[in-house]
Amino acid sequence: MYNVLNQDNATGGHGAVLQLLWDVFKQKYDNGYGALGLAYIPLVGLFFCANASLCANARMAYAFSRDGAMPGARIWRQLNRGSHLPVKACWLMAMLALLLTLPCVYNDLFFATVSAGSVVALSLSYGIPICLRIFHNKYSFIPGPFNLGWAGRPLAVVACFWIVLVNLPFTAAVCHVLYMHVIFNGCTML
Q: What is the pTM of this model?
A: 0.61
Please give the share of the chain, as a percent, with pLDDT higher than 90: 10
| Helix pair 152-171, 180-189: axis angle to 10 deg | 130
- CB-CB neighbours of 20 under 10 Å: 17
User: What would the pLDDT profile of 12-53 be if each residue is shown by its tens digit?
Assistant: 556 677 778 888 888 888 888 888 888 888 889 888 988 888
Q: What residue spans define the domains of the chain? A: 107-190
Q: What is the DSSP string of 93-162?
A: HHHHHHHHHGGGGT-HHHHHHHHHHHHHHHHHHHHHHHHHHHHS-TTS----SS--GGGHHHHHHHHHHH
The whole-number average pLDDT for the span 96-117 is 81
Question: How many residues are there in the chain?
Answer: 190
Confidence band for 190, pLDDT divided at 50, 70 and 90: low
